[in-house]
Amino acid sequence: MSLEMDGMDDEIERLRSENRRLEAEVARLRERNAAHVRLPQEGQRTSGADVDLLFTAAEKTRMPQIVTDPNLPDNPIVFANRAFQVLCGYSAEELIGRNCRFLQGPDTDPSDIAKVRDAIAARRDVVVEILNYRRDGSTFRNELYVSPVFTPEGHLRYFFASQLDVTRFRTEEGMLAESEARYRTLFNALDAGFCVIELRFDADGRAVDYRFVEANPAFSRHTGLDDVVGKWVSEVVPDLERSWLDTYGKVALTGRAVRFESGVVALGRWFEVQALRIGDPVQHRVALLFNDVTDRQKAESVLRDTARDRTTERDLVWRASRDLLVVCGFDGLYRSVNPAWNGMLGWSAFELVRTSFSDYVHPEDKAAASAAFEQLRAGQVLDSLDVRMLTADGGYRWVSWNAIPQEDHFYGAGRDVTERRALEEQLRQSQKLEAVGQLTGGVAHDFNNLLTVIRSSTDLLKRPDLPEERRQRYIGAISDTVTRAAKLTGQLLAFARRQSLTPEVFDVGRSVASVADMVGTLTGARIRVVTDVAANRDGRGNEVPYLIDADPSQFDTALVNMAINARDAMDGEGRLDINVRRASAIPAVRAHPRVAGDFVAVSVRDTGTGIATADLDRIFEPFYTTKGVGQGTGLGLSQVFGFAKQSGGEVVVESTLGEGTTFTLYLPREVGRSVAAEDDGEPEPLADGHGTRVLVVEDNQEVGSFATQALRELGYETVWAMSAEEALTVLSASPRFDVVFSDVVMPGMNGIDMAREIRHRQAGLPVVLASGYSHVIAEQGTHGFPLLKKPYSVEDLSRTLRRAVNRAGAAGP
pLDDT digits (tens, 9 = 90+) for 99-130: 888 888 888 888 888 888 888 888 888 888 88
Can you say how many angstroms the Cα of residue 781 is from the centroid of all Cα atoms in its chain? Answer: 26
Give the pLDDT score at 683. 42
8 A C-beta contact, residue 782 and residue 774 = no
> Could you please report the per-residue DSSP string of 379-422?
T--EEEEEEEEE-TTS-EEEEEEEEEEETTEEEEEEEE-HHHHH
Residue 790 has pLDDT above 90, yes or no: no
Name the amino acid, one letter, at 711: L
Name the amino acid, one letter, at 524: G
The CATH number of domain 504-668 is 3.30.565.10: yes
Residue predicted with more confidence, 555 or 439: 555
Mean pLDDT of the chain: 78
Give the pLDDT score at 328. 93
Point out the least confidently predicted range of 372-376, 439-443, 672-676, 748-752.
439-443
| 135-167 tens-digit pLDDT | 998 888 878 888 888 888 878 888 888 877 766
Q: Is 242 exposed, middle or buried (0-12, 13-18, 19+ CB in 10 A)?
A: exposed
| 226-277 tens-digit pLDDT | 999 999 999 999 989 999 999 999 999 999 999 998 888 888 889 999 999 9
**How far is the C-alpha of 637 from the C-alpha of 566, rounded, in Å?**
11
Residue predicted with more confidence, 434 or 315: 315
Q: Is 645 helix (H, G, I), strand (E, B) or coil?
A: helix
8 A C-beta contact, residue 280 and residue 10 = no
CA proximity to 561, closest of 648, 499, 647, 625 = 625
Q: Measure the N-to-C terminal CA separation of the chain; round to a whole number of Å.
A: 77
8 A C-beta contact, residue 552 and residue 504 = yes
**How far is the C-alpha of 322 from the C-alpha of 161, rounded, in Å?**
89
Give the pLDDT score at 762. 87
269-278, strands of its sheet edge to edge: 207-215, 193-201, 285-292, 269-278, 258-264
Q: Is 17 exposed, middle or buried (0-12, 13-18, 19+ CB in 10 A)?
A: exposed
Q: Is 129 helix (H, G, I), strand (E, B) or coil?
A: strand
156-165, strands of its sheet edge to edge: 77-80, 65-68, 156-165, 139-150, 126-133
pLDDT (average), residues 473-502: 62
pLDDT (average), residues 327-349: 91
pTM over 0.85: no
Instruction: Say which DSSP state 730 is in.
Output: H
Other beta carbons within 10 angstroms of residue 308's beta carbon come to 8
**How far is the C-alpha of 797 from the C-alpha of 788, rounded, in Å?**
7
Cis peptide before 791 (omega within 30 of 0): yes
* CATH number among 3.40.50.1820, 3.30.365.10, 3.30.450.20, 3.30.420.10, domain 190-297: 3.30.450.20
Looking from the CA of 198 toward its CB, the CA atoms found within 13 Å total 13
**How far is the C-alpha of 296 from the C-alpha of 680, rounded, in Å?**
81
Confidence tier at 422 by pLDDT (50, 70, 90): confident
CA proximity to 621, closest of 607, 638, 609, 608 = 638
Could you please state the CATH topology (level 3) that the domain comprising 422-495 is classified under: Helix Hairpins (1.10.287)
Residue 418 has pLDDT above 90, yes or no: no
Give the pLDDT score at 780. 54
Can you say how many angstroms the Cα of residue 41 is from the centroid of all Cα atoms in its chain? Answer: 61
CA proximity to 494, closest of 636, 616, 630 = 636
| 704-759 tens-digit pLDDT | 887 888 788 888 889 999 999 999 998 988 778 899 999 888 888 988 889 989 98
| 398-411 tens-digit pLDDT | 999 999 999 899 99
Note whether 422-495 and 504-668 share their fold: no
How many percent of the chain have pLDDT more than 70?
74
CA proximity to 551, closest of 602, 503, 507 = 503
8 A C-beta contact, residue 256 and residue 250 = yes
Point out the least confidently predicted range of 226-235, 351-360, 471-480.
471-480
How many percent of the chain have pLDDT more than 90?
24
Residue 440 has pLDDT above 80, yes or no: no
**Residue extents of the structural domains in the chain:** 10-172, 190-297, 321-416, 422-495, 504-668, 693-811
Query: Given CA atoms 11, 17, 20, 24 in this order, what sign does their dihedral have?
Result: negative
Confidence tier at 52 by pLDDT (50, 70, 90): low
Give the pLDDT score at 118. 85
**How far is the C-alpha of 153 from the C-alpha of 146, rounded, in Å?**
21
Instruction: Say which DSSP state 531 is in.
Output: E
Alpha helices per DSSP H over 496-611: 508-523, 552-569
8 A C-beta contact, residue 671 and residue 619 = no
> Could you please report the per-residue DSSP string of 101-124?
GGG--TTS-HHHHHHHHHHHHHT-
Give the pLDDT score at 355. 92
Residue predicted with more confidence, 54 or 590: 590
pLDDT (average), residues 357-366: 92
**Phi and psi (nearest 5°) for 606?**
-120, 170
Range list of β-strands (E), 202-353: 207-215, 258-264, 269-278, 285-292, 324-329, 334-337
Give the pLDDT score at 471. 73
Name the amino acid, one letter, at 376: L
Q: Is 782 helix (H, G, I), strand (E, B) or coil?
A: coil
Instruction: Say which DSSP state 438 is in.
Output: H
pLDDT (average), residues 642-655: 85
CATH class in words for 693-811: alpha beta
Superfamily of domain 10-172: PAS domain (3.30.450.20)
| 199-224 tens-digit pLDDT | 999 999 999 999 999 998 889 989 99
pLDDT (average), residues 50-63: 59
Distances (CA, A) of 506 to 141, 500, 548, 647: 44, 18, 6, 13
**Phi and psi (nearest 5°) for 232?**
-90, 150
Instruction: Tell me which CATH code domain 321-416 carries.
Output: 3.30.450.20
| 521-564 tens-digit pLDDT | 667 778 888 889 888 887 777 888 888 888 887 888 788 888 88
**How far is the C-alpha of 390 from the C-alpha of 398, rounded, in Å?**
9
Name the amino acid, one letter, at 743: D
Annotate 322-355 with three-state secondary structure.
CCEEEEEECCCEEEEECCHHHHHHCCCHHHHCCC
